[in-house]
Amino acid sequence: MGLNSYRHMLKMKSLVPASTCNPPPTERVGSLPLVHRQGPGSPLLEERPQRRNSTLIFLWDQPRINSIRRSLASSSSSPSSIGNDLDGTNLRIPVIPSEGGREYVVTVGLGTPTRDLPMIFDTGSNLTWTQCLPCPTQGCCPQIDRCFEPSKSSTYSDPSCSPSCNYSASYADNSFSYGYYAQDTLTLSADYTFPNFIFGCGQNNSDGFSNNAGILGLARGDYSLISQTTSTFALIFCYCIPPTYNGQGYLLFGMGALKNCQTNQYTSILPDQTKPSWYFVELLGITIGNQTLEFSELVPSSSSSRTIIDSGTTISRLPPSVYAALRDEFKKEMSEYPVARQHLPSLGLDTCYNLEGYDSVALPKVVLNFDGADVNVDPSGVVWRESDSQVCLAFTPKEKENDQTIIGSTQQRNLNILYNIQENKVEFGTGSCGS
């Protein structure tokens, strides 16, 4: 089968992790570098890049998926974390599990003088929290250089509810962070500092957070970074997730995002009274090659097109009937290549090929057909490379047709994704964070 307008020619070496970090070809003033936590540009690495552990990544993913499913099925009046309000009444900050893929890291500053802290960036979490010293729990901050010490900051202050202003963030894989709310100056760049930024000071954190400073919450709750910086950034941010393990993406806010994140189409953010902080959009179908798979024809449920865009989920989850149709078309398009054994079939990677000896591969193009926007998935988001002998379709099925459809970080690679919350839309464009 030859190359045509419905296929990509993908060089195999572009999927192989390199030992050096490749910055974006175009510098963006005011942007925060966004890197894979195990890649060569990661601030979490002590010496050299680690080999990406696919099994661990997918095992982290599944609890997040399970928690999202349970959360949507539960009563809308049941928040998932509680604390005390800053004026003395109950403060309830919904948190969906940030453990998830835990794949991408940005560095922000807290306090005066500024303490640089590498945090997992997460569009599904409202609360920004970091590990703090001193703490009463042995081992709560095993990597001292990634912990914040309030006593060393001249701008630190307690919220008005102190000392009883506590938070509890429990995650679906039994990881957790418990602590108290705090206020200090948040520094994103020399031009953007935010006094009295409210965040969580972790005092008892599980091992799952031992080598990162915490979570940068980019959901729409009242105490997320986006909501606390509204007067400056007008509820606008954009990111580009790098397509390779050694690439460097970017995270931008406000006018910097509008100027430097080129987009050319958008879809509307759907209102949701039960989960107002999540980014719901409508995914009408998926096109693979020249075949469009429409949800309305494949899935009986009228709500199946309702989809979450989530940076904390690694691999997109599709309705089983849609996934089956996508898989079958992918097999047709890849029929010239030798089939390989399945990789983690229990977690969904069940369509794999042995591409050893191939310099390049003709992959079918995949397009996400949102309401109002047809978004081309980067070739790096179509397949997941475990090794040259095991390259798999990078989508997985949900357990049930009516479970939540999710677009994960793998399918968001090398796209400019701009969230304009004030105008209730998510914009898309071809990113330039590729290596």
How far is it, in rounded angstroms, from Cα 215 to Cα 37? 13
- Amino acid letter, 176: F
Residue 268 buriedness (CB in 10 A; 0-12 / 13-18 / 19+): middle
Contact 398, 320 (CB under 8 A): yes
310 has catalytic annotation: yes
Cβ neighbour number for residue 95 with a 10 Å cutoff: 29
Q: Is the dihedral of CA 140, 143, 144, 149 positive or negative?
A: negative
Q: Does residue 30 contact residue 187 with C-beta atoms inside 8 Å?
A: no
CB 292 within 8 A of CB 372: no
Is 244:22 a contact under the CB 8 Å cutoff? yes
Largest CA distance in the chain: 68
Residue (of 285, 283, 329, 338) closest to 310 by Cα position: 283
Any residues with CB less than 8 A from the CB of 26 and at least 6 apart, and which?
432
Structure token pair of residue 191? 């031009």
Q: Within 10 Å of residue 103's Cβ, how many Cβ atoms?
A: 25
Q: What whole-number distance in Å separates Cα of residue 36 and Cα of residue 117?
A: 15
DSSP per-residue codes, 148-194: B-GGG-TT-B--TTTTS-EEEEE-TTS-EEEEEEEEEEEEEETTEEE
403 is catalytic: no
Q: Which of 122, 184, 378, 403 is catalytic?
A: 122
Got the DSSP string for 257-288? HHHHS---EEEEPPP-SSSTTS-EEEEEEEEE
Q: Which of 61, 173, 184, 310 is catalytic?
A: 310
Element (H, E) at 352: strand 352-353
> Which is nearest to 121 in space by CA: 425, 435, 417?
417
CA 313 to CA 196: how far, in whole Å?
30
The span from the CA of 396 to the CA of 345, in Å, is 10
Q: 208, 173 in Cβ contact below 8 A?
A: yes
Residues with active-site annotation? 122, 310
